[in-house]
Amino acid sequence: MARLPILVAPDPRLKARADAVDTVDAEIRQLMDDMLETMYDARGIGLAATQVGVRKRVIVVDIAGKDEDPNPIRMANPEIVYASEDETTYEEGCLSLPEQYADVKRPETVRVRYLDHENEIRELTADGMLAICVQHEMDHLDGVLFVDHLSGLKRNMILRKLQKARKGQPATV
């Protein structure tokens, strides 16, 4: 396993649309495992391949609390096959927008079809935090960040705050 560097906005690679995976083979399984290690190390609850500079439709999620057993979910080519009319609002964060948070409204329940780590087609109905996280990760595969759901004013405020915070920090290699 390997930890991968996480891209931070405004990296243009975060705006790219990812390509579908043909088959979940050993290489994609390795990517999924590396992404999980990277996510756990960063204390995130989800990660999209886009965030580690890989343009493939792969996401990982684990919303288990720190006192619970880990529950890693690996998905390739996730698609929403049902989204509820009911919506829910949650204050989201993102590893690619460090220390920035804002309320985002999304469907409360979604049913997702995807390929698992054994290349089997599966479906999962998600609500609560899992639904929020899966939708947030799927957005990344289309080059969408949570700030893209906000008004232009709020989005620019966050992006400017991020730039200001980065100026005070030494450049990362």
Catalytic residues: 137
DSSP classification of residue 77 = E
Question: Shortest distance, CB of residue 152 to ligand GNR, whole angstroms?
Answer: 21
Q: How far is residue 40's CA from residue 70's CA, in Å, rounded to a whole number?
A: 10
The DSSP-derived string for 8-69 is: -TT-GGGGSPPBPPS---HHHHHHHHHHHHHHHHTT-SEEEGGGGT--BSEEEE----TTS-
One residue of 49, 61, 94, 133 binding Ni ion per CB under 5 A: 94
Question: Shortest distance, CB of residue 4 to Ni ion, whole angstroms?
Answer: 14
147 is a contact residue toward Ni ion (CB under 5 A):
no
Q: How far is residue 4's CA from residue 52's CA, in Å, rounded to a whole number?
A: 6
Closest residue to Ni ion using C-beta atoms: 94
Interacting residue ranges for ligand GNR, rule: CB under 6 A: 44-48, 51, 92-96, 132-133, 136-137, 140
Helix or strand holding residue 153 (H, E): helix 152-167
Number of residues that bind Ni ion (CB under 5 A): 1
144: which residues sit within 8 A by CB, 6+ positions away? none
Question: Shortest distance, CB of residue 94 to Ni ion, whole angstroms?
Answer: 3
Closest residue to ligand GNR using C-beta atoms: 44
Question: Shortest distance, CB of residue 138 to ligand GNR, whole angstroms?
Answer: 10
Binder of residue 132, out of ligand GNR, Ni ion, none (CB less than 5 to 8 A by kind) = ligand GNR
Binder of residue 133, out of Ni ion, ligand GNR, none (CB less than 5 to 8 A by kind) = ligand GNR
Q: How far is residue 165's CA from residue 145's CA, in Å, rounded to a whole number?
A: 19
What is the contact surface with Ni ion in residues (CB under 5 A)? 94
